[in-house]
Amino acid sequence: MAKVRLALAQTNPVVGAISNNLADCLEWVKQAHNQGADIILFGEMSATGYPIEDLATRPGFVQQAEAAIDAFAKQLQKCGLGEMHVVIGHPALAATEDQSHWAIANNCASVLNGGSVVARYAKHHLPNYGVFDEFRVFVPGDKSCTFEVNGIRCSILICEDIWQDGGPVARVASDKTDLTLVLNGSPFELEKQSTRLELVSGLAQSTNSAVAYVNLVGGQDDLVFDGNSLLVDATGALRALGAAFQTGLQIADIATGGLIENIDAENVGQPLQNTNTDALESVWNCLTLGLADYVRKNGFKSVVLGLSGGIDSAVCATIAADALGADSVYGVSLPSVYSSDHSKSDAFDLAERLGAHIRTEAIKDIVAVTENQLGLTDLSAENLQARVRGLILMALSNKEGHLTLTTGNKTELAVGYSTIYGDSVGGFAPIKDVPKTMVWALAEWRNAKARAAGLIEPIPQNSITKPPSAELRPGQVDQDSLPPYEQLDALLALYIDGRQTREQIIAAGFAADVVDKIASLVSMSEWKRRQGAIGPKISGMSFGRDRRMPITNKFR
State the catalytic residues.
Answer: 44, 123, 159
Least Å from the CB of residue 280 to a copy of itself:
26
Closer residue to a copy of itself, CB minimum distance, 98 or 278: 98
Cα–Cα distance for residue pair 177/145, rounded to 1 Å: 10
* Count of C-beta atoms within a 10 Å radius of residue 110: 25
C-beta of 73: minimal distance to a copy of itself in Å? 21
* Nearest-5° Cα angle at 153, 147 to 156: 60
Q: How far apart are CA 409 and CA 532, in angstroms?
A: 12
Q: Report the candidate in 423, 461, 433 with the shortest Cα–Cα distance to residue 307.
A: 423
Encoded amino acid at 40, one letter = I
**Residue 385 CB, nearest approach to a copy of itself (Å):** 11
Least distance CB 503 / a copy of itself (angstroms): 8
Could you please report the per-residue DSSP string of 8-33?
EEE----TT-HHHHHHHHHHHHHHHH
Encoded amino acid at 288, one letter: T
* Residue from 444, 433, 525, 437 nearest 485 by CA: 437
CA distance 222 to 547: 13
- Minimum gap (Å) between residue 481 Cβ and a copy of itself: 16
Nearest Cα to 235, choosing from 264, 209, 197? 209
User: Of the two residues 369 and 455, which places its CB atom closer to a copy of itself in the complex?
Assistant: 369
Q: Which is nearer to a copy of itself, 348 or 421 (CB)?
A: 421
Specify the residue, 2 or 376, whose C-beta has the smaller distance to a copy of itself: 376
CA–CA separation, 251 and 228 (whole Å): 15
Q: CA 237 to CA 201: how far, in whole Å?
A: 7
Closest CA to 359 of 386, 336, 387, 330: 330
Contact 135/128 with Cβ under 8 angstroms? yes
Name the amino acid, one letter, at 543.
F
State in angstroms the smallest separation of the CB of 372 from a copy of itself: 9
Q: Which strands make up the sheet holding 248-255, listed edge to edge? A: 116-122, 105-113, 85-93, 39-41, 3-10, 248-255, 259-261
335 Cβ contact partners less than 8 Å away, ≥ 6 residues apart? 343, 344, 360, 362, 363, 364
CB of 14 to a copy of itself, least distance (A): 6
Residue 127 and residue 434: Cα distance in Å, rounded?
25
Looking at residue 516, its amino acid is D
Compute the least distance from the CB of residue 160 to a copy of itself, in Å: 9
Q: Which CB, 278 or 361, lies closer to a copy of itself? A: 361
Cα–Cα distance list, 443 to 277, 318, 347 (Å): 12, 9, 15
**Integer-rounded Cα radius of gyration of the chain:** 25
Give min distance, CB of 6 to a copy of itself, in A.
30
Q: In the chain, what's the furthest Cα-to-Cα distance?
A: 86
User: What span, in angstroms and rounded, lies between the C-alpha atoms of 260 and 309?
Assistant: 53
- Coil, strand or helix: which one is 155? strand
Give the residue with the Cβ less far from a copy of itself, 103 or 249. 103
Nearer Cβ to a copy of itself (17/26): 17
Q: Which is nearer to a copy of itself, 341 or 548 (CB)?
A: 548
Nearer to a copy of itself, 167 or 435 (CB): 167
